[in-house]
Amino acid sequence: MPQQRVADLSCRLSEYVEPDRVRREVYTDPAIFELEMRRIHERVWIYCGHESQVPKAGDYYVVQIGRQPMVMVRGADGKVNVLYNRCPHRGNMMVGDRHGSSGEFFRCSYHAWTFHHDGRLRSIPMMESGYAGTPYGKDHPDCSMKRAARAENYRGFVFASLSPEGLSLVDFLGKAIVAFDDMCDRAPQGEVEIVPNCFRVIQKSNWKIFLENQLDALHPSVTHQSTGRAAHEVEKDIEKKSGHAPLSYHMLSAFATVTIDKWDNFQTLNYPHGHCILTGYMGLRPKDPDTLAYEKTLVDAYGEKRMEEILGVNIHHVLIYPGLSVQSPLQQLRAVRPLGVDRTLTEIWHFRLKGAPEAIYRRSLAYYNLVNSPATLVNADDLENFWKCHQGLSSEGGDWVSFARHFGRDLQKGEMVETAANCGTSEAPMRNQMKAWARYMAAQ
């Protein structure tokens, strides 16, 4: 985008975001999307994947960061590197598959330049004669694959930032780091393992519409009411006949039984950089034999007191802006990959708690299939709303999007904004996301 265009756009942006509403162009203008990629997604820490996706040296997995094709690869030293998926010779993509093994080194399919897994040049065919008298060779930086400016691994979750400057990953995550601690702590071995493969859904809407939905506590009992009611009918029937209904029915019926007033009892905790935590967990602590057996494995691993602390963490959802939605108590993770102003890919993953009984994994799988997968009506109903929102925002039927629910009742506590009592359905998370968005977009 020409510099003058960027400067003009930057001036207008300050008028696009107000504390309780934003202009529709924020979701529909392709030039704004380009600037978002530059100033947000290609600068901040973006989730690449879990290290268990690349268990052995040479294993790789590709990932898109902003507009950049990247590859996450395990080196012989065990470290996970994040590189641009591009050969420095003539620009060929280094790997064409989504994932696989590169063996002992990367070898470009075009002219056979080879690279170590940290990106350093390993060899060029007939390098000595071919490059004699030129500055090019193993020590020339232009001959190596470019690395992400920064890459860090927190408890197995790999992030990269394409900017050399900025906060460390831990400082960037702040309190939202609980997403990974809560998920890993629930494993008797203190680690999780990703379950291959994920669902991939392309939504015909802007990426921010998905993120705004994640902690929207007003919508579940409306959008998902029909699913919840149908599941509740079946649940009651099974209960009448057999004495108890499987927990999986509760996962769906909760959309009808947890009504708007109950959602208001929950709370959102909104943090700098756009992150947010929704407290309250609909599964709570069931007392079925599977849960009790699982609790015993945690007691054996950590003792009674620590087990209570671990299972007492009361969060429903953690949003890590600008690209991650984590439901740690059920080991679910959704990564958002913007593809264009009106196109967004979400990767829907789930994890296995290492050392936990198989029944606990089946519970996570049930939630994955019943609530988060594209095969469920829950996801389909959300997707329909996302598409309809994008259509409405693209029209001339109005200029603003409103985030005014419970506006003015937020409680500022240091750097955190907390929703007041009985304001769980507040639009504070959306206000917080847009506040972070405006700050990122204003930074040159």
Specify the stretch interacting with Fe ion by CB under 5 A; choose among 136-144, 203-211, 374-382, 405-413.
374-382
Say if CB 9 and CB 32 are below 8 A apart. Answer: yes
Spatial CB neighbours of 6, under 8 Å, sequence gap ≥ 6: 35
By CB under 5 A, tell whether 235 contacts Fe ion: no
Partner that binds at residue 113, options ligand FES, Fe ion, none, CB closer than 5 to 8 Å by kind: ligand FES
What whole-number distance in Å separates Cα of residue 345 and Cα of residue 385? 16
Does the protein bind Fe ion through residue 382 (CB under 5 A)? yes
CB of 91 to ligand FES, least distance (A): 6
User: Closest approach of Cβ 53 to ligand FES, in Å?
Assistant: 25
Chain positions contacting ligand FES, by CB under 6 A:
87, 89-90, 92, 108, 110-111, 113
Mask: binding to Fe ion, 130-149, rule CB under 5 A, as x and -? --------------------
Q: Which long-range contacts (CB under 8 A, 24 or more apart) does 11-15 make?
A: 13/438, 13/441, 13/442, 14/438, 14/442
Q: Which does 382 bind (CB under 5 to 8 A by kind): Fe ion, ligand FES, none?
A: Fe ion
CB closer to Fe ion, 213 vs 432: 213
Residue located via tokens 């004495």: 243
The partner in contact with residue 28, picked from Fe ion, ligand FES, none with C-beta cut-offs of 5 to 8 angstroms by kind, is none
If one asks whether residue 212 binds Fe ion (CB under 5 A), the answer comes out as: no
Q: Which option in ligand FES, Fe ion, none does residue 111 bind, with CB closer than 5 to 8 A by kind?
A: ligand FES
> Judged by CB, which is closer to ligand FES: 145, or 177?
145
**CA gap 353, 26 in Å, rounded:** 39
Cα(182)–Cα(161) distance, integer angstroms: 24
- DSSP assignment letter at 150: E
Quickly count: other Cβ atoms within 10 Å of residue 401's Cβ.
Answer: 19
Residue 90 interacts, among ligand FES, Fe ion, none and using kind-specific CB cut-offs from 5 to 8 Å, with: ligand FES
Among Fe ion, ligand FES, none, residue 87 binds (CB under 5-8 Å by kind): ligand FES
> How many CB atoms lie under 10 A from the CB of residue 165?
8
Residue type present at position 351: F
CA–CA separation, 405 vs 427, rounded Å?
5
When the beta carbons of 264 and 382 are compared against Fe ion, the nearer one is 382
Residues that bind Fe ion in the complex, under the rule CB under 5 A: 382
